[in-house]
Amino acid sequence: MSKETIAFIGTGVMGKSMAGHLLNAGFPIQVYNRTKSKTEDLVASGATWCGTPGAASKGADIIITIVGFPKDVEEVYLAEDGILANAQSGCLLIDMTTSSPALAKKIADAAKEKGIGSLDAPVSGGDLGAKEARLSIMVGGSQDNFNRALPIFEIIGKNIQLQGEAGAGQFTKMCNQIAIAAGMVGITEAMAYAKQSGLDPFQVLKSIETGAAGSWSLSNLSPRALKGDFAPGFYVKHFIKDMRIAIESADEMGLELPGLKLAKTLYDKLAAQGGENDGTQSLLKIYDPEA
């Protein structure tokens, strides 16, 4: 039986690897990215280049997006030549961008009116998780649509959870980002403290990463930062966007999140110093300008 055709829109730091796994699994891929050169490897491996999100959507059974900001999500889905204007009835939309829960609900409602299924399915795991096909995938939408998408998700991820109806995936990703934000402040302060006290921070990591302080960020991002490797597994500018979404939605719920607001203040300072295109581990520069 032939596999469903997938439109994959957004082949950046994470999307390129995700699309590659699906291509390698034998799915026909129609690919679009705003910067065409970022799709060249996929096209060379058999994907079909399309000039717009709408063109990529035509004839696709599954349409996956992972773009930068909520405004980009809104544009690719709701523009005159966007996804919803070109997607066929019965197809399934899967937005894997970290975006606004309210926008996820808006897209779900618009899709339903056209007889189209939809899921919001943001991911966590960064560039390594995408490359190694072990992303955590947080999903909002119906059980039927989740069941249809599950074989796709299992190709690119390991921890796949349906959290509730439309928007629930995005709310869950905000929980993830809130935990990471406060954690990154603690991690970078610990590394700065280790260096200032005359310790070898790499040796310190050996002691603390397997104890109560242990986390994925501590084990994977601290060594990068200490080596001066600030290449993005996840961009500072996108993390700031996520924190802003989380703060706005928390404010709407009447929930005060002082730890998150502090973290955003520090990342805003880092971005103002020219670090918006670095990885999140570059927060160390705020504490150690020589890093």
What CATH number should be reported for the domain holding residue 144? 3.40.50.720
Give every CB contact of residue 77 below 8 A, 6+ residues apart in sequence.
Answer: 65, 83, 84, 93, 95, 107, 110
Same domain, 11 and 93: yes
Q: What is the DSSP string of 158-172?
A: EEEEEEESTTHHHHH
Q: Which of 210, 208, 177 is nearest to 190 (CA)?
A: 208
Q: What are the residues facing 123 on neighbouring strands?
A: 137
Same domain, 35 and 115: yes
Same domain, 267 and 200: yes
Per-residue model confidence (pLDDT) at position 244: 96
Per-residue model confidence (pLDDT) at position 1: 60
Per-residue model confidence (pLDDT) at position 19: 98
The model carries a pTM of 0.92
**pLDDT tens string for the chain (291 positions)?**
679 999 999 999 899 999 999 999 999 999 999 999 999 999 999 999 999 999 999 999 999 999 989 999 999 999 988 999 999 999 999 999 999 999 999 999 999 999 999 999 999 988 889 999 999 999 999 999 999 999 999 999 999 999 999 999 999 999 999 999 999 999 999 999 999 999 999 999 999 999 999 999 999 999 999 999 999 988 999 999 999 999 999 999 999 999 999 999 999 999 999 999 999 999 999 998 888
Same domain, 145 and 190: no
Domain boundary among 114, 135, 165: 165
Same domain, 20 and 146: yes
Per-residue model confidence (pLDDT) at position 56: 97
Phi first, then psi: give them for residue 59, nearest 5 degrees.
80, 0
Q: Is residue 151 part of a domain?
A: yes
Per-residue model confidence (pLDDT) at position 98: 94
Same domain, 155 and 186: no
Domain that holds residue 52: 6-165
Per-residue model confidence (pLDDT) at position 48: 97
CATH code assigned at 210: 1.10.1040.10
Q: Give the type of residue at 21.
A: H
Domain boundary among 144, 165, 186: 165
Coil, strand or helix at 30: strand
Q: Give the type of residue at 12.
A: G
Per-residue model confidence (pLDDT) at position 289: 85
Per-residue model confidence (pLDDT) at position 138: 98
Per-residue model confidence (pLDDT) at position 14: 93
The total of structural domains in the chain comes to 2
Per-residue model confidence (pLDDT) at position 260: 97
Per-residue model confidence (pLDDT) at position 126: 85
Domain boundary among 133, 165, 197: 165
Same domain, 185 and 109: no
Give 31's DSSP letter: E
Q: Which residues are catalytic?
A: 173
Give every CB contact of residue 242 below 8 A, 6+ residues apart in sequence.
Answer: 98, 173, 174, 177
Extract the tokens encoding 129: 């998780």
